[in-house]
Amino acid sequence: MNQLELMKGLSQENTTKIVYLVLDGLGGLAQDVGGRTELETAITPNLDALARTGMVGLMHPIGPGITPGSGPGHLGLFGYDPLQYMIGRGVLEAVGIGERLTDEDVAARGNFCTVDEAGIITDRRAGRISTAECSRMVDLVKDIGLPGIEIIVKPVRDYRFALILRGKNLSAALNETDPQQIGLKPLAVAALDQSPEAVKTAQLVNLWVEQVRERILHQKPANMVTLRGWAKEPGLPTFLEVFKLKAMALAVYPMYKGLAGLVGMRVIEGLNNLDDQLQALDGHWEDFDFFFVHHKYTDSKGEDGDFDGKVSEIEKVDKIIPKILELKPNILVVTGDHSTPSVLRSHSWHPVPTLLWAQKFIRFNPDVSGFGETQCLKGALGQFNATSLMPLVSAHALRLAKYGA
């Protein structure tokens, strides 16, 4: 029995409220041997108090040593094993720019590239054109029509765009057209299985690429496209089905709203900052059981290599803790979807400092005086995998029945 089936069998309704505060890329590293991480440097009296009266530990998003992308990172936090449930690249790209997919859509990641007169790729990223130039290119091709289906093309960032095919009986069993090196032509799209759906979808996409090629033949530097990561909406069991939780997502960035949408959370639009998020939390408090509050900028500063900037973002979040506690949640979790140490300027594999505070029924960690990576080594949660977090949270919210008699 996999964990979601187990949770589906054990979960039960209750009136308890859960706040899941995710600081993207929270985990960090010290700049020097024996130094302090970003979280340990930040002045966080509120988080420290929660760590002393709650439980802390270190969470592995996928497993020791594995660095997650945002998709798997959040799936794990939501209790879905990221090694079992995959979100295709095409879907992640679409979701990341705020597109909502139906379960019939097929999505792909597109690159604008440069080909020579013979059609051979000379630059797989068209000189990394700007997002503005990408938008201009998308405008040239977005009204290309195909028989019987709707085509949605949207710029993503730099040379990348999202392609969505919307219609009946489409398949994502298609090969990627990027040959992964220069000096070769883009590949034609072909069906990866013998189903009529795949054969038909391949024909349609080849028609589309042909027309795109005609339209942008004389543009510079981008004059061709490649397509990768064909995928359909993954059809994940919803949060309500699995955990019997009415869940709401309070996020600013499209990617995280999209990920929350994939597990069936109700997504609130139009939030631009922590104040908006707090106000929405307060406004919807009675209507939902579970609130996913996402803060992006801890990760952004980490990716910029901005140690002090990340410290400052953590301190901003610390200041909103009292307002969350005023709502009297039964459970407050503070964690991240992965680590983004500013010394690495990227996502990393380091386990994420995690805090589970509950009104009742917790094991204390009396040797812990504050919230930080080193303190978490002494925490009552120990080191654990992300997929254990939702079971722990549901248990403390008294929302899980006993397994077996």
Binding site for a copy of itself (CB under 8 A): 1, 3, 6, 10, 29-30, 33-34, 53, 58, 62-73, 82-83, 86-87, 89, 92-93, 341, 343-344, 346-351, 360-367, 373-374, 377-380, 382-384, 388, 390-395, 400-405
Q: How far is the CB of 218 from a copy of itself (least distance, A)?
A: 33
Q: Is 194 helix (H, G, I), strand (E, B) or coil?
A: coil
- Shortest CB 93 distance to a copy of itself, Å: 8
10 backbone dihedrals φ, ψ, rounded to 5°: -100, -25
Q: Which is nearer to a copy of itself, 162 or 281 (CB)?
A: 162
Least distance to a copy of itself from the beta carbon of 147, Å? 32
Q: Are 102 and 233 in contact (CB under 8 A)?
A: yes
Q: Closer CB to a copy of itself, residue 85 or residue 208?
A: 85
In whole angstroms, how large is the CA radius of gyration of the chain?
Answer: 23
- Six token digits for residue 88: 């295709």
**3-state secondary structure (DSSP) of residue 302:** helix
Shorter beta-carbon distance to a copy of itself: residue 302 or 341: 341
- Compare residues 146 and 395 and give the one whose CB is closer to a copy of itself: 395
Taking the least distance from each CB to a copy of itself, the nearer of 208 and 243 is 243
Dihedral angle over CA of 278, 339, 53, 242, nearest 10 = 70
Please identify, using beta-carbon distances, which residue of 34 and 270 lies nearer to a copy of itself. 34
SS3 320: helix
Q: Cα(314)–Cα(40) distance, rounded to whole angstroms?
A: 10
Q: Alpha-carbon distance 124 to 231, whole Å? A: 21
- Assign 249 to helix, strand or coil: strand
Q: Are 107 and 164 in contact (CB under 8 A)?
A: yes
- Whether the upstream peptide bond of residue 254 has omega within 30° of 0, thus cis, is no
- Give me the least distance between CB of 178 and a copy of itself, in Å please: 15
3-state secondary structure of 232: strand
CB of 144 to a copy of itself, least distance (A): 26
Identity of the residue, 114 or 226, whose beta carbon is nearer to a copy of itself in the bound complex = 226
Cβ 170 to a copy of itself shortest distance, Å? 22
Query: Whole-number minimum distance, CB 334 to a copy of itself, in Å?
Result: 18
